[in-house]
Amino acid sequence: MGPLLLTPEWFYGYNIALELIFAIITFSVSFYAWKIYKITQERNLRLFSLAFTFVGLSYFARALLNLVVFLRLDDEVCLLMKIQDLYLLNLFGTYVYSILFLIGILLLAYVALKIYSLQTFILMFLLVFTSLYFTPFKTFMLYLLSTLLLGFIVVYYFRNYFNNKKMTTLLVLIAMILLFTAYVSYLLSTNNAWYYFIGHIMEMVAYLIILVNLVVVSRLGRSKNLDRTKNGKKKR
């Protein structure tokens, strides 16, 4: 197996804090997307919310894994956890994070495909997970698969913006471009550790843009509903 994490030593600790922040932000994105879905009943928003729930879970799991690696488990703790080898713990953590994250990204790609078939999604997942499972460089493959999927998602939101030129769709497009660029940076981090840091910053900005966008849309939707309710009462 390739290195579990392509994290520069000077970034240890900071990456854990950032991943916890990513988890909080992405869970918030999921929450607000669900709120808007309850108002609009738009199926894509339900899938968008579900996707970011999995992404949030992946970051939470990754933060815990990085914390364990950072603290460098001793033998007694390993015995209590029934894990004899830190390598096995790392491998397990990599799979947990990768599966959760890829499910989230695949759900976003699934929305872009607009083919609402559970069989299609399962096939996509099996193809992606098989590629990850049979490579010794699992972290690198995760970044590569995520980059390819995000590239496809960027094309979808690019078309969506030009068909519906609104500020909200533009912000989502910008966020997805930032996410795509962040994962390109992670791929380059094998040669230069600074790309890993840059990727984290772009990723945070992307998630914050999506969150702020959804908060604004949610408040606008709520105010419109209130106006409709008031107008309805006046008519009565």
Q: What is the pLDDT along the chain (236 residues), one digit of tens a residue?
A: 444 445 566 566 677 888 899 999 999 999 999 999 988 888 889 999 999 999 999 999 888 887 776 666 555 555 555 455 566 666 777 788 889 999 999 999 988 877 778 888 888 889 888 888 888 888 888 899 999 999 999 999 999 898 888 888 899 999 999 999 999 999 888 777 788 889 999 999 999 999 999 998 888 766 565 445 445 544 55
Listed residue (176, 157, 161, 166) closest to 220, CA to CA: 166
One CATH from 3.90.320, 2.60.120, 1.10.10, 1.20.1070 for 9-228: 1.20.1070
104 vs 29: CA distance, rounded Å: 13
The pTM for the full model equals: 0.83
Domain boundaries, the chain: 9-228
Other CB atoms closer than 10 Å to residue 16's CB: what's the count? 19
